[in-house]
C-alpha cells in the first residue's frame, strides 16, 4: 500500500525514517538532515505558499520519501563496494589469503589503521578531555554573566564539531559507517526554545560523556599498542642485536644486549617465532578493539530518535 503524499515537513521526515527502518543509524541521520535542510530552505524561499503546496511543488525534483530512501541505499551500497578490501588471487584464480585467517590479519589494512588509531587515541583523548573540562568550567563560571550563554553555545557547537571529526576519523580507521551530518536543529524557533531543546537532547550529554571517556580509553589503548609493539619487535630483532654484539659491533653504548639465557644460538629462532606470534596477536587485538570502539562511539554519537 502506497503511503499518502506528505503534507508537512515533519510528516515527510516520518515517512522517510519509516522507509529507512533497519538501515544504519548514521545513514538515517544523514538522510534526515539532508531532507530537512532542503525542504525547509525551499519553504523559506516560497513564503507565499503553504508547506503542503511547496512539498507538492518539489515532489518531482527531490523525490518522494520512498524514492529518497532507495537513492540513499543505492549510494551506500556503491560506496561500500568501492571501499571493500580486495583479496589477492593465485594463478588458479583462488584467493591467495584471507584477512580472517590467523596470519592473514597482516593482509587486512583495517588492522594497521586500527593499531594507528590506538596509538593516536591518547593524543585525541587529551584534546577532547581538555576541551570539555575547559568548556564546562568557563560555562558554569560565567553562567551569571551575560557572556555565559554565548560561551556555552560556542562550547556546545565545538563539541558537535569534535564529534563529527571523531566520527570521520573512526570511519577512516575502522570502516564503520559514521554520520557525515549533524542532527538538524529543526524549524526556526525562539532562541531560548532552541537552547532548551539542546539541553533536553540526550545526544548532547552522551557526546560530552564520550569526549570525556576518550582520555581513559586513550590511555588504555595506547598502553596496549605501545607495550605490544615494543615487546614483539624487541623479540623479533633481539637475535640481530645479539649477533651484532657478538661481532663487537657497537649498538648501544654501555648496554649489554645479550643476557645469559640468550647464550645459545638455538634460542634465537624461538625468539623470532615468539615475537611474530605476539605481533600477530596484537594485530588481531587492534582490529577487534577498533570494531568494538566503533560500536561504542556509534552508541554515544549517533542520534536514534
What are the residue boundaries of the structural domains of the chain, listed by start? 1-83, 101-305
262-284 residue pLDDT tens: 555 666 778 888 889 999 999 99
Residue 187 has a pLDDT of 65
> DSSP secondary structure string, 211-256?
HHHHHHHHHHHHHHHHHHHHHHHHHHHHHHHHHHHHTT--SSTT--
Residue 249 has a pLDDT of 47
97-147 residue pLDDT tens: 566 677 888 888 999 999 999 999 999 999 999 999 999 999 888 878 888
pTM more than 0.85: no
Residue 63 has a pLDDT of 82
149 or 110: which leads in pLDDT = 110
| Coil, strand or helix at 262 | helix
Query: Highest-confidence range of 120-134, 147-161, 233-247, by mean pLDDT?
Result: 120-134
Q: Does 34 have pLDDT greater than 60?
A: yes
Q: Does 251 have pLDDT greater than 80?
A: no
83 or 229: which leads in pLDDT = 229
Q: Which three cell numbers stand for residue 114?
A: 586500527
Amino acid at each position: 500500500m502506497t503511503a499518502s503524499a506528505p503534507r508537512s515537513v515533519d510528516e515527510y521526515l516520518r515517512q522517510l525514517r519509516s522507509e529507512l527502518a533497519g538501515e544504519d543509524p548514521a545513514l538515517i541521520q544523514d538522510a534526515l538532515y539532508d531532507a530537512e535542510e532542503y525542504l525547509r530552505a525551499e519553504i523559506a524561499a516560497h513564503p507565499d505558499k503553504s508547506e503542503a503546496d511547496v512539498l507538492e511543488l518539489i515532489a518531482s525534483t527531490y523525490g518522494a520519501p520512498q524514492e529518497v530512501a532507495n537513492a540513499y541505499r543505492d549510494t551506500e551500497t556503491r560506496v561500500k563496494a568501492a571501499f571493500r578490501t580486495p583479496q589477492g588471487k593465485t594463478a588458479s584464480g583462488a584467493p591467495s589469503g584471507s584477512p580472517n585467517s590467523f596470519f592473514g590479519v597482516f593482509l587486512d589494512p583495517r588492522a594497521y589503521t586500527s593499531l594507528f588509531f590506538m596509538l593516536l587515541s591518547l593524543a585525541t583523548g587529551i584534546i577532547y578531555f581538555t576541551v570539555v573540562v575547559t568548556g564546562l568550567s568557563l560555562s558554569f563560571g560565567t553562567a551569571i554573566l551575560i557572556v555565559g550563554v554565548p560561551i556555552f553555545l560556542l562550547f556546545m557547537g565545538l563539541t558537535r564539531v569534535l564529534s563529527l571529526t571523531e566520527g570521520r576519523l573512526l570511519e577512516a580507521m575502522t570502516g564503520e559507517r559514521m554520520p557525515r551530518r549533524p542532527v538538524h536543529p529543526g524549524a526556526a524557533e525562539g532562541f531560548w526554545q532552541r537552547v532548551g531543546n539542546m539541553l533536553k537532547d540526550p545526544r548532547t550529554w552522551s557526546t560530552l560523556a564520550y569526549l570525556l571517556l576518550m582520555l581513559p580509553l586513550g590511555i588504555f589503548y595506547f598502553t596496549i599498542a605501545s607495550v605490544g609493539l615494543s615487546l614483539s619487535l624487541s623479540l623479533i630483532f633481539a637475535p640481530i642485536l645479539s649477533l651484532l654484539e657478538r661481532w663487537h659491533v657497537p649498538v648501544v653504548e654501555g648496554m649489554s644486549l645479550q643476557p645469559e639465557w640468550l647464550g645459545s644460538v638455538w634460542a634465537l629462532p624461538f625468539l623470532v617465532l615468539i615475537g611474530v606470534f605476539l605481533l600477530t596477536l596484537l594485530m588481531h587485538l587492534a582490529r577487534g578493539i577498533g570494531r568494538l570502539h566503533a560500536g561504542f562511539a556509534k552508541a554515544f554519537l549517533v542520534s536514534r530518535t
